[in-house]
Chain A
Amino acid sequence: MDVTPDEPAVVLDDVTKTYRLGQPIDALSSVSLSIPRGSYTAIMGPSGSGKSTLMNLVGCLDRPTEGRVLVDGRDVAGMSDRERTTLRGRTIGFVFQTFNLMPRLSALENVALPLVFQGVRRRERRARARELLDRVGLAERADHRPNQLSGGQRQRVAIARALVADPAIVLADEPTGNLDTATGSDVLALFEALYGEGRTVILVTHERDVAEHAERIVHVVDGELEGIEAVTGARRKA
């Protein structure tokens, strides 16, 4: 984790994303946003608001139609597919609502998977993956396959995987959406810990309860930034 304190983790500068499905549709129009390093930000909005598009841009999965997207100080707009993939693998840790684990791989192998594509040696990969499984409290489940794990355990494996490449930014898309309240709280506690150790955490959600775990909430409606709300003091559900 290279931290340059004065440089934001993510900057969106007048970003527009247009999809051409028959008629051009602006999923995002002229959005500008800066997410500081080490911050805990929730992106909130109803479905269809453009928050998924925003997440795809921040996660280097997509390129803006117009404007600049700087991730870890680098402009995604001008990058080739290959450069974006590399940046994504090293800088962003993804956590999804549906966990997205590889069904045939064990928990340990799932956690180690990103390192395979970075050419890290097997022994080192496994050591690092074991360390992270231990951190999320699943050391003894290392050899289980996803279908042998509960939903909460799967999401913790996914979080361990998101952290394995030591990313600057953890990007979570409705991470508690498929979990009951208790396991959801455990998962949110893990994000809180990550925030506590100085990592940038971005949480995409449509639930206010969940969003209020962040230090600020970015509201997206109809492809536009509606406002940024600071969550302070007693209201924060840390």
Chain B
Amino acid sequence: MELPDAASLCEKLAEQIRPHLTPDTALIGIHTGGVWLAERLHHALGITEALGTIDVAFYRDDFGSRGLHARPRKSDIPFDIDGRPLILVDDVLYTGRTTRAALNELFDYGRPGRVDLAVLVDRGERQLPISPRYCPLTLTESLPTGSRLRLSRSEAGELSLRIINA
């Protein structure tokens, strides 16, 4: 499957978000791809509020069967989320389970005013009632089960989309 250029998708995503920004909107990236993407958006949109990051490892629903992965990172939300509009940023939306975990984690920090979801790619096949508000690309054909669609970042900082087959 031909994958589009991540940088131009990222620009499109920023333009989708821009008209809806309010002065107190904050971005929260989900580790790891979502954080890279959120950093780009944060810069492109000129958001002044610091960037939040979360690692959903402690909220995953498969902990009982898979345990913790080797190196979870610290979540860091350097602002008060109560009443604030938040945009949760992830690279790829698939089953929706990561988004569910991220929402649960967010609500342990307080009660946000609203939460929207921004993703670079929606690969479909949802298992939960979750949909993105901002998404520049929706895949129409499904990827083989077990294959993973991921954002990767080169040493020079360039983002690209990759399919990793199981």
Q: Do A and B bind each other?
A: no
